Structure 1
Amino acid sequence: MSLIQLSEHLWAYQDTCTVYVLKSDSECLLIDTGSGAVLQHLHTIGIEQIDWVLHTHHHRDQCWGTPIVQKAGARIAVPEYERHLFENVEAYWQARRIYDNYNNSNTFFSLGENLTIDAVLEDYGTFVWKEYEFRVLPAKGHTYGMVSLIVDVDGTKVAFIGDLMTPGGKLYQLHAMEYGYGDLLGAEFTMQSILALKKENVERAFPSHGASIDDVRGDIERLEKRLETLSSIGRLFTSGRDVNFNESQTIRESRLEPISEHLVWAGPYTCSNFYVVLSGGGHAMLIDYGLASQGHLHAGADSDGLQALRFVEHHIDQLRDDYGVQHIDLVVPTHIHDDHVCGIPYLQRHFGTKCWALDCVAEVIADPSAWASAPCCFHKPIEVQRVLSDGEAFHWRGFDFEIHYAPGQTEYHAMILGKIDGKRVVFGGDNLFLFNPGAGGIDREIAIQATVMRNSFQLEMHRRCAKVIRLLNPDLVCPGHGKLIDMDQARIAEYTDYIDRKEAAFRDIVNEPANHFIDLFWSRMLPYISHVLPNSKLIYTVKIRNNLGRTAVYSARIQPAFGWISGAGESITLLPGEQGEIMVGTTSPSQVDPRRRLITAEILIDGISQGPVCEALVSMYEISLVSVPKRQNCSVEIEGVAIKAADLSFPVLPTSLVIDGAGG
């Protein structure tokens, strides 16, 4: 097999996948590697050195020869959301269930040994090599983390699309569309990915299997029709579900719908509702911006624990085309959960959008590694330009708002009142939903309060939500999921009664003081995820909440483990209902142990041990010096914690280099 020239500087090599060779003088960059046999042929076109390999996805047919290429001096870049299936795949195989397994995603087709990586291809980021600038476009479908790479080659805009599609508008493998037991969820992901590719107007597309695609738009449209037909068969669960788990009727993006002249939403099929306030002059303000559909709420064993949710852009085109939005000025999140905030970094990066948030929400979303013990934390930090306090009023382009602390579905939650088009509109996040309990003599939809115990639930949280609703007295509640809720005094009373009945049932099933047995996070260690050098001291903040109904002395001390050395414990006296913080320290061992370790803190109340109640995760690493070109957006990332480059060289973990704006 020999190299096939596609244009002046681009060749293809047919292997277990098609390997693409992009040449610059005597060096080259590869798209995937196949078996690595391409190495034997590069000299025929004057290539002396492979500089980089960019992988479109993790499957063995794409990368089983990568170790050979790496030994020849190549550096390796992999998709952001499949990083763990390259550099930590041995652990994946240790944990992967074989029997009684209902996870049918095709991560079975992974490598067997860990592969050192040098850079990560970040969604919507860029990778620069020589005179070529690749844009990274999410291409979910064939795999969860696959990417397409958009670049100009020899005067032509092209896309390297992995196994997104093949010539003629076909899928490469139908079985790859199965993510869960009996579904074809990959069909929805593929539809979104090919429509995103369609907007790029590339002239040629180069798949991993099959010939090059010259009629890119035509083949995408042919695949669109086939996916629609597949979806119309029904019972295949190809699309997202609404909050009642009814299958939606389309695998396409939902349409924005008007609520009033200056307020629109995307209906109940976006997974996590978001709302748009329109200025009437081309400017918009968003309440939340998260996942496109329920199908994207895919957080299982095959998504890295720190990177479970992968955001893809949605509804921006319609805002521009149908509503004339040119500027997204502001986004205000209702609460911390990833399915509601994962799109905010995208807005900030591409539109310069400001984020304003309630103080407790801002604290979590700005530092997710510290708060990772809270469920549904998005792994990327979100910059908050304005921190709002409980009850604070704010204004945006003629509209008046108030934000109120409303801990309900999670402790870190707000409700936002807006006076829009003559109505009092409350954006309730995940607090209120319409639901038919089918019990207690009620057989109709009423407004209820969501309960998630691991979201740091305490009994008074829901009482506070009811108080906020009575104070705000809304005409309309715009919830985080499901249908809009028309409100009046009767419905507010019904909602309050529901909360009272729930609290009575909760109290009845545990001993008193009830919150001591209900509040999972009455003690919590921060930061939850951390990284230290050998012989380094690590200071934790243990946050304590006194649920005992009496004054008590709380103490905390680190439990030694894995060679870690613990410091002295500290104590604090708290009044009933009071919260406080205890600082405790530990020192890492001298020998590097890169495995993630569990660190626990023993909590004592009035000298009586409650055991190692709270925990955190810590990893050790060594510092070595790597030279990195000075580019604006170059950063180091260690388990989701990004550190911006400040100079030409700086200490980093060689396998943790994230390239965004530079490939050096």
Structure 2
Amino acid sequence: MAPTLSPVAGLPFVYRFEDCCNVYVVQEGSRALLIDLGAGGVLDALPSLGIERIDAVYFTHAHRDQCQGALTRADRLAGVPLHFPRRARPFVDPAARSDLTPPSPLVGRYPGRFDPPRPIVGAQYDLRPPATIPWGGFDLEIVALPGHIDHQVGYLLDVGEHRLAFCGDAIHSAGKIHEAFHLETDHYTGAGARKAAESLRTLRQLRPTALCPAHGPVTLDDPIGALRRTESLLVAFAELKDSPFPGLPHVRRLARIAPDTLSPVSPHLWVWNNSYLLTSDSGAVLMVDCGAPLSDAFWAQFEAHLRGRRIEVVLVTHPHCDHVDGIESLRESVGGELQVWAHEAIADAIEDPYRYRRPWLPLAPARVDRRLLEAEVFIWREYTFRALYFPGQTDLHAAYQVMIDGHHALFCGDNFYPPQRWGGYGGLSGLNGGHPIEGWRRSIDLLVQLEPEWLLAAHLQPFPFRAGDFEVARRWCDEIARAMATLAPDGCVERHHSPHAFALEPYAQTVRGAFLVSGRIRNPYRHGIEAVTRLMLPDQWRATPDTALLHLAPESEGVVEWSVTPSGPPCAAMLTLDLTYGGTYLGEKAECYVWYSP
């Protein structure tokens, strides 16, 4: 059934149009203003209301699903002002965007914002809340509503006895948030959820009688109660995001350690910034992670404390830049004889990082010389290790079990720290591939089973294992999973708390001619889903097939592969996945980047 215009709150001149986002129409005679645009389907419906002219489009925020029609329907919008919040400029304006710079928008950074639009030329960034915009017989009041994204605004409109709040994605419905992964303004705290809760408090104080969200139904029944309930759930969620070890006492580190200081942890174990150095009686050294080119200060201390030794292996816990960026320079400095070993689950991401949509990517790939199988027992000199898949902060994470100076130790990367450091863990982040059960619970269960004496965490944090702490963390996994399901409009954590439900791969690539792109569509539900996909391209580029239909079995995923032929001058291009999912048009739901240089 084609989308239709439906009156809001029974009013004869305010309408809602369901597209990839809700679009709201405020009518005065033969003219109108729009709040958000979606894919632009509303433009075809306006004549049915006798509307001949659009005076302006006011955007609540600049996610793709709010504004993609500004590109695809540009011919119908000629001369229509497109008003964005002032703070949206670096997210939209091609001249100001950082994501269009190669080799990937995720090198060395966590973006904190998701789903940017394809570049829009001619947008106006003139909305500075708080402000009031007069239009015809109405006044449109602008209020800042950060949380879902930093620049989000809402619009309040007094119509008769009603006070309508066009609130973007600040709320979906009572107790629900659309795609809550957008609240992950960083990768390890609940700061984004707190900001979203504060925006709901702000909105509550403005006394709306109707909530008109970008996704979800119009809320007429007790909107203040809906805001209050959602605000409360977000605050509780933020507390859970902060730490899986609430209220637990601090843990003393195993040694006195300082930055830029090669410090002993035990006779055969040293720590330098984000690396551990394990020494062999043979004179060789195994380094765990190498996050930056090693400085002259390091080599001076290495010579003073470990004179005559050679680093012969780097063992990698995960592919974030601060764990691998120094590998290839170290390989050069030791004459090319360095070996890099890594668990099989993370090796591809070390060698081909730009393929992945993950934060904190390295500046350059590194060669992996040995891929370790899951639970593989391997030997380096007199030490016997076991390689273990260890998801948590990221799904691309490993740990390595070994005995050191009579102590059962686990090199655990960025997953766990003493409770007083960053809440005791590396964060639960959908962009990082984090999951409360499939990731954190799996690794916590493994720790409880292994019962190591030492947790050799990154970032200068070696500390003793306390079993009771991880029993608390086990319960936290279940609690935060319930909180996430509660916030999700349909109860599905995998759909609403992960930006990876729909993906294009490789995420970033540089090409000279024809190339391939794969679309990966997941179905986390217990029922089948039909997905219709299309790859959105720059003008004059072509893709085969044009569209593809997938029948996804319950709890499965499907893949579409496109062959793309670019043309025209060199450019930085964003390609997007246009998706109808389970009969609902979602819009351009995933992106990838291509730098074309013929």
Normalised to the residue count of structure 1, the TM-score between the two structures is 0.48
Q: Does 1:517 align with 2:500?
A: no
Q: 401, 407, 417: which is aligned to 1:433?
A: 417
CA contact (8 A) 1:543 1:582 kept: yes
Q: What is aligned with 1:257? A: 264
- Aligned-pair distance for 1:277? 1.0
Superposition map of 1:231-270 within 5 A: 253-259=260-266, 261-266=267-272, 270=273
Q: What is aligned with 1:334? A: 317
Residue identity in the other structure for 2:387 = I
CA contact (8 A) 1:446 1:494 kept: no
- Cα distance in 2 between the residues matched to 1:543 and 1:316: 45
CA contact (8 A) 1:600 1:612 kept: yes
Superposition map of 1:349-428 within 5 A: 349-351=332-334, 352-371=337-356, 373-428=357-412
Q: Residues 560, 258 of structure 1: CA spacing in aligned structure 2 closer, same or farther, 3 A cutoff? A: closer
Q: Secondary structure at the match of 1:484?
A: strand
Q: What is aligned with 1:70? A: none
- Cα distance in 1 between the residues matched to 2:483 and 2:424: 18
- Aligned-pair distance for 1:554? 4.2
Q: Residue deviations 1:170-189, cap 9 Å, x none?
A: xxxxxxxxxxxxxxxxxxxx
Q: Does 1:565 align with 2:551?
A: no
Residue identity in the other structure for 1:341 = V
Q: What is aligned with 1:470? A: 448
- Cα distance in 2 between the residues matched to 1:529 and 1:92: 17
Q: What is aligned with 1:455? A: 432
Q: Secondary structure at the match of 2:391?
A: coil
- Cα distance in 2 between the residues matched to 1:527 and 1:613: 15
Q: Residue deviations 1:430-459, cap 9 Å, x none?
A: 11122349xxxxxxx974452233212233
- Cα distance in 2 between the residues matched to 1:531 and 1:448: 35
Q: Residue deviations 1:268-315, cap 9 Å, x none?
A: xx2x3x111110222011111114xxxxxxxxxxxxxxxxxx875662
CA contact (8 A) 2:531 2:581 kept: yes
- Cα distance in 1 between the residues matched to 2:258 and 2:269: 25
Q: Residues 399, 338 of structure 1: CA spacing in aligned structure 2 closer, same or farther, 3 A cutoff? A: same
- Cα distance in 1 between the residues matched to 2:407 and 2:527: 44
Q: Secondary structure at the match of 2:374?
A: coil
Q: Residues 551, 354 of structure 1: CA spacing in aligned structure 2 closer, same or farther, 3 A cutoff? A: farther
- Cα distance in 1 between the residues matched to 2:522 and 2:97: 35
Gapped regions of structure 1 (runs ≥ 5): 1-90, 97-248, 292-309, 438-444, 623-664
Q: Residues 251, 472 of structure 1: CA spacing in aligned structure 2 closer, same or farther, 3 A cutoff? A: closer
Q: Does 1:594 align with 2:570?
A: yes
Percentage of matched positions with identical amino acids: 22
- Cα distance in 2 between the residues matched to 1:583 and 1:427: 38
- Cα distance in 2 between the residues matched to 1:398 and 1:374: 36
Residue identity in the other structure for 1:404 = L
- Cα distance in 2 between the residues matched to 1:530 and 1:278: 39
Higher relative contact order (CA 8 A, sep 6+): 2
Q: How many residues align?
A: 346
Q: Secondary structure at the match of 2:475?
A: helix
Q: Secondary structure at the match of 1:390?
A: coil
- Aligned-pair distance for 1:555? 4.6
Q: Does 1:540 align with 2:517?
A: yes
Q: Secondary structure at the match of 1:506?
A: helix
Q: Does 1:492 align with 2:482?
A: no
Q: Residues 324, 311 of structure 1: CA spacing in aligned structure 2 closer, same or farther, 3 A cutoff? A: closer
Q: Residue deviations 1:366-404, cap 9 Å, x none?
A: 012322x31111121110111122222211102111121
Q: What is aligned with 1:281? A: 282
Q: Residue deviations 1:531-572, cap 9 Å, x none?
A: 3335x3x21122343322334344532113232112214455
- Aligned-pair distance for 1:497? 2.8
CA contact (8 A) 2:481 2:493 kept: no
CA contact (8 A) 2:355 2:508 kept: yes
CA contact (8 A) 1:600 1:615 kept: yes
- Aligned-pair distance for 1:602? 2.0
Gapped regions of structure 2 (runs ≥ 5): 1-92, 99-255
- Cα distance in 2 between the residues matched to 1:250 and 1:476: 16
Q: Residues 555, 355 of structure 1: CA spacing in aligned structure 2 closer, same or farther, 3 A cutoff? A: farther
CA contact (8 A) 2:571 2:597 kept: no
Q: Residue deviations 1:23-44, cap 9 Å, x none?
A: xxxxxxxxxxxxxxxxxxxxxx
Normalised to the residue count of structure 2, the TM-score between the two structures is 0.53
- Cα distance in 2 between the residues matched to 1:423 and 1:574: 49
CA contact (8 A) 2:522 2:558 kept: yes
- Cα distance in 2 between the residues matched to 1:456 and 1:366: 18
- Cα distance in 1 between the residues matched to 2:396 and 2:405: 29
Q: What is aligned with 2:590? A: 614
Q: Residues 580, 395 of structure 1: CA spacing in aligned structure 2 closer, same or farther, 3 A cutoff? A: farther
Residue identity in the other structure for 1:290 = G
- Cα distance in 2 between the residues matched to 1:334 and 1:455: 15
CA contact (8 A) 2:262 2:302 kept: no
Residue identity in the other structure for 1:334 = T
Residue identity in the other structure for 2:339 = K
Q: Residues 252, 527 of structure 1: CA spacing in aligned structure 2 closer, same or farther, 3 A cutoff? A: closer
- Aligned-pair distance for 1:523? 2.2
Superposition map of 1:55-70 within 5 A: none
CA contact (8 A) 1:532 1:588 kept: no
- Cα distance in 1 between the residues matched to 2:324 and 2:420: 28
Q: CA RMSD in A?
A: 3.1
- Aligned-pair distance for 1:525? 1.6
